[in-house]
């Protein structure tokens, strides 16, 4: 596979400062960066041990069951740090069972702070201050999304680099600290791409359609499960071309760009969540 310079640089940045922890007595080896930033994704790698089973990774108080195929020399898992995490040292732990014994390897990863720019927006009052009916709707939809983000498919469908969902430029970057109608709001948990009505929107990786919805804020939406706790989402669509439970391939069209939900014009909001934590997807695209 040939990577262009932009993606190669992204991989280098992701690996810089990477260290390995080897448990000499068991042969369990874990490789991950020493330092990551709020909102950053990173690749964790480990070498399966002979006779090992029931592999699990624990990161930020969440545990992921990891499928290991016969003969896999190295297993990769995509992890990340959410925007609200405090800049402290965290522990990444790998465990497996062999001969009725639990084997573990741990690595300390320092979470560093990162400042994101401020974005000021002016929106119609009804889109910011919800009526009782719309507020109740919002809470129902939030609960539904929370359930989806807790999904932990054991298999892995994703591969790097991810495919950019649309060709347009970025109008709102990940992590922006938003001030809407002069009131501070939650940071931007995705990337907004420019484009026109009807522009095809493509899946960033192989996956399964976990949810198709029409939500108050995000409008017509598609959520894809890529395995290992990796979830992508596509908002404000004018059209949806897939159904729940459908298997989609990397680059396959899942819908069309639109302005449904809370949107002032046609664009795509693309989000990437890792174990329920939003991360910046831009370094993971093959650009």
149 and 20 in a common domain: no
Q: Are 194 and 230 in contact (CB under 8 A)?
A: no
Q: What is the domain count for the chain?
A: 2
129 and 266 both lie in a single domain: yes
Q: What is the distance between the alpha carbons of residues 250 and 164, in angstroms, rounded to a whole number?
A: 10
Name residues whose C-beta falls within 8 Å of residue 46's C-beta, 6 or more positions apart in sequence.
28, 29, 30, 31, 55, 57, 74, 75, 77, 94, 105
Instruction: Please report which confidence band the pLDDT of residue 205 belongs to, taking 50, 70 and 90 as the band edges.
Output: very high
- Assign residue 101 the CATH number of its domain: 2.60.40.2470
CA atoms of 58 and 9, how far apart (whole Å) = 28
**Residues 155 and 261 grouped into a single domain:** yes
Mean pLDDT of 184-191: 90
Residues 260 and 124 in one domain: yes
Full residue range of the structural domain in which residue 227 is found: 118-284
CA-nearest of 208, 204, 179 to 193 is 204
Tell whether 182 and 128 lie within a shared domain. yes
Give the three-state DSSP class for 225. Answer: strand
Residue 84 CB neighbour total at 10 angstroms: 11
State which of 58, 89, 112 marks the end of a domain: 112
Alpha-carbon distance of 137 to 129, in angstroms, equals 13
Last residue of a domain, one of 112, 131, 153: 112
Give 150-175 pLDDT, tens digit per residue.
887 878 999 999 999 999 899 999 99
Q: Are 120 and 127 spatial neighbours (Cβ–Cβ below 8 Å)?
A: no
Q: What is the pLDDT of residues 84-108, one digit of tens each?
A: 898 999 999 999 999 999 999 999 9
**Model pLDDT, residue 26:** 61
- Separation CA 215–CA 84 (nearest Å): 24
Q: What is the CATH number of the domain that holds 269?
A: 2.70.70.10
- Which two structure tokens, joined as six digits, stand for 75? 């297993």
């Amino acid at each position: 596979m040939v990577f262009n310079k932009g993606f190669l640089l992204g991989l280098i940045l992701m690996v810089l400062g990477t260290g390995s922890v080897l448990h000499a007595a068991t042969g369990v080896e874990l490789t991950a960066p020493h330092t990551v930033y709020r909102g950053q994704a990173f690749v964790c790698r480990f070498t399966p041990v002979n006779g090992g089973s029931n592999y699990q990774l624990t990161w930020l108080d969440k545990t992921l069951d990891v499928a290991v195929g016969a003969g896999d020399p190295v297993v990769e898992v995509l992890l990340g740090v959410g925007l609200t995490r405090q800049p402290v040292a965290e522990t990444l732990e790998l465990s497996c069972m062999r001969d009725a014994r639990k084997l573990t390897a741990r690595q300390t990863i320092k979470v560093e702070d990162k400042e994101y720019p401020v974005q000021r927006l002016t929106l119609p009052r009804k889109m910011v201050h919800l009526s009782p009916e719309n507020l109740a709707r919002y809470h129902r939809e939030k609960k539904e999304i929370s359930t989806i983000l807790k999904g932990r498919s054991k298999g892995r469908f994703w591969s790097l680099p991810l495919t950019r969902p649309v060709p347009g430029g970025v109008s709102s970057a990940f992590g922006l600290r938003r001030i809407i109608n002069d009131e501070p709001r939650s940071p931007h948990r995705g990337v907004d791409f420019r484009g026109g009505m009807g522009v095809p929107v493509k899946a960033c990786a192989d996956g399964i359609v976990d949810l198709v919805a029409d939500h108050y804020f995000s409008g017509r939406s598609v959520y894809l499960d890529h395995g290992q706790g990796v979830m992508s989402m596509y908002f404000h669509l004018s059209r949806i071309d897939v159904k729940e439970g459908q298997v989609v391939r990397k680059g396959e069209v899942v819908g069309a760009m639109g302005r449904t939900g809370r949107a002032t014009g046609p664009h795509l909001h693309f989000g990437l969540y890792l174990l329920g934590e939003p991360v910046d997807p831009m370094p993971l695209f093959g650009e």
